[in-house]
Amino acid sequence: MMSEIQQRYQAVCERITQAALQAGRPASQVQLLAVSKTFAAEQVREVAALGQRDFGENYVQEGVDKIAALKDVPGLVWHCIGPLQSNKTRPVAEHFDWVHSVDRLKIAQRLSEQRPADLPPLNICLQVNIDGGPTKAGVSPTDALALAQAVSALPRLVLRGLMTIPDPVDGFDAQVAVHMQAKRLFDDLHEALALPQFDTLSMGMSADLEAAVKAGSTMVRVGTAVFGAR
Ligand SMILES: *Cc1c(COP(=O)(O)O)cnc(C)c1O
């Protein structure tokens, strides 16, 4: 008998495979980041037992506690995807493998300074405010190249790509259109920066992962569709 979480996990994996097929892309180009915020370490353990390795957390202390509770599970990769204040960067630099929510240089500088010397460089995605609300987190598309150049020069970080959280829109085509803006920016930066490790476009969630994969997402961040309602 499959548990509920197992059924949901397999359904999400199948959605990603189908979305890639529909988009004419190899499914191996799209990674699943399972967003475990608000769920217990034991639920993460259950999903890890199904083969999932990458997990996303929004809240620093909750994430650090879960990372500690799951130290015995080999090969887990932890992504910080929530808004980051500069006084909270140290535990992130010390415990996470990725940060998707860097949107200003000061945060990146602190993460680089605080990254322990015995760990590999921290993987960074720049969060871009792709659909433009003035109060939203994220660097503006216009300022993204300059920030990317500055971040890529920091010694203890490796710039991996971009992350977006567009406001929900109705309909598949409208969702694809927003995600395509991010894809175009990603391609422009990829060319301008010429960094081989700039390979990650983190976009798409439970409600719009098909549209994100169609537009070129390489990492979908899926919470409720894997773990259930929060
Ligand atoms: C919560 C969250 C997700 C996952 O959202 P779901 O709708 O549960 O799939 C993805 N990205 C970010 C930044 C989040 O905060």
Nearest atom within ligand 1 for CA of residue 37: 1
Nearest atom within ligand 1 for CA of residue 224: 8
Which mutation among 221, 224, 230 tests ligand 1's pocket best, with the greatest number of atoms within 8 A of CB? 221
157-169 mean pLDDT: 97
The per-residue pLDDT for 133 is 78
Which residues form the pocket of ligand 1, taking CB atoms under 6 Å from any ligand atom?
35, 37, 58, 81, 165, 205-207, 221-225
Per residue in 83-129, pLDDT (tens digit) is: 999 999 999 999 999 999 999 999 999 999 999 999 999 999 999 99
The per-residue pLDDT for 1 is 75
Which mutation among 35, 62, 208 tests ligand 1's pocket best, with the greatest number of atoms within 8 A of CB? 35
Per residue in 87-98, pLDDT (tens digit) is: 999 999 999 999
Q: Ligand 1: distance of its center to the CA of 94 in Å?
A: 23
Q: Ligand 1: distance of its center to the CA of 223 in Å?
A: 5
Secondary structure string (H, E, C) spanning 82-104: CCCCHHHHHHHHHHCCEEEEECC
The per-residue pLDDT for 135 is 77
φ/ψ of residue 153, rounded to 5: -85, -10
Per residue in 19-78, pLDDT (tens digit) is: 999 999 999 999 999 999 999 999 999 999 999 999 999 999 999 999 999 999 999 999
Q: At what angle do helices 172-193 and 144-152 cross, to 10 degrees?
A: 50
Residue 134's pLDDT band, with cuts at 50, 70 and 90, is: confident
The per-residue pLDDT for 2 is 82
State the first-to-last Cα distance of the chain, in angstroms, to the nearest integer: 24
Residue 139's pLDDT band, with cuts at 50, 70 and 90, is: very high
Nearest atom within ligand 1 for CA of residue 225: 9
The per-residue pLDDT for 199 is 98
- The mean pLDDT of the chain is 97
Question: In this structure, what is the dihedral angle of CA atoms 225, 229, 92, 148, given to the nearest 10 degrees?
Answer: 50
Rounded Cα distance between 130 and 181, Å, is 7
Rounded Cα distance between 170 and 184, Å, is 21
User: Taking Cα atoms as reference points, which of 86, 78, 145, 137 lies closest to residue 111?
Assistant: 86
pTM of the model: 0.98
Nearest atom within ligand 1 for CA of residue 206: 9
